[in-house]
Chains A and B, each alone.
Chain A
Amino acid sequence: MCTADIKKSQGDNGFLIVSLSGELNKKVVREIRDKIIKAIRTGHNVESITVDLSDVSLIDTAGVALLVLLCQHVKSKGGTFRVVRPQDRVRRVFKLAQLEEFLTVENGNRQ
């Protein structure tokens, strides 16, 4: 089970903050992806996405692939992408996939 709480700022040059909680695995990725893409497409342009993983207990490669997809989407439009406050176990998976830098994984607070 995984829930996504999506906050979108108003106005142009907006940002999207996605807070996920639960297990981000292949069973839920499609649903979460569709939700986030819908949020991106409605309303104003999104220039940066921040994903808060503090409540995500488990992630598999499908979950990582989702983050990569979002990152690709934003970066191709010149925006920024960040992943913040991943738990240790989740961080190890990013390291295994060698994607810490690409996804800009940070421990800091979200905006």
Chain B
Amino acid sequence: MKMETGSNDSKALISVRHLDSFYGRKQALCDVSFDIEARRIFVIMGMSGCGKSTLLKHLIGLKKSSPDTVWIDGEDVSKWGHREWNDYWLRIGVLFQNGALFNSMTVAQNIALPLAVHTNLPRDIIEIMVEMKLHMVGLSGTGHLMPSQLSGGMRKRAGLARALAMDPEILFVDEPSSGLDPITAAALDELLITLKEAFGMTLVVVTHELESAFKIGDSMIVMDGGRIIASGTPEEIRQMPDPRVQQFLNRRPDEEQRDYESYISRLCKVKRR
């Protein structure tokens, strides 16, 4: 995947160029650049703490991006005001890591909320749409339950149903399969692929589940320490000689990371009782 420098001349749906991100003085992202094509599944992979979630926040507007770093539909989002962001948010759906369901409403009310607020759809239509979304994520018949009555995996799926409520153009998913058993996780992967094919949805999936990522991804990036260490199609990534990438793919704990010497010295400092 070629990276262009300077201004954005890519025709991709979302373009990121040399994005840096800080929390106070701590740098979370360093010189991140990539493109997300429309109607494709783009996967962001990496270990915990590599900056995936921060990157997602920039793409969904929860963290401010510097000028000339993030472009959506060819527009520099640092110039966007309230109206542009609100219009964008109407086009996207976001699944947060823990589902982020509203505690004071039932599952069905959660899913219906964006439809009730933003459309003039009659209630009977909304109720049918909610049932359809619940069925899609494998939660048929649970609409009347409160979020506190659901397991973690069910909450996540309910969150996905809510993210899909408005049939978004772009779906952002943060760790879709975490907390799910293998069968349900596989079903969810199938759902994501079908969404792309049936609705022409663009999906941006943040995950550390390798199998899922390689199955659904059309293109992906691998991140480590706030930087992109690999990008390309799943096949290209699998064949990359970069040792860090191979280590990530093969799930080999890094021997260098375990600092043996300081471990021993810390053990010896423990006072005898």
Contact = CB atoms under 8 A, between A and B. Distances in A.
Interface string A56-69: 00001110111011
Contact of A30 (B121, B129, B197): B121
Contacts of A27: 119
Interface in B116-134: 119-122, 124-126, 128-129, 132-133
Given A92-B197, A96-B194, A26 B128 contact: no
A65 B125 contact: yes
A93 interface: yes
Contacts of B85: none
A109 interface: no
A76 interface: no
B135 A26 contact: no
Interface residues of A, number: 22
Interface of A: 25-27, 29-30, 33, 60-62, 64-66, 68-69, 89, 92-93, 95-99
Interface of B: 115, 119-122, 124-126, 128-129, 132-133, 135-136, 166-167, 194-195, 197-200
19 contacts: A25-B167, A26-B115, A26-B121, A30-B121, A33-B125, A61-B132, A61-B133, A61-B167, A62-B119, A62-B167, A65-B126, A68-B128, A68-B132, A69-B128, A93-B198, A96-B194, A96-B195, A96-B198, A97-B132
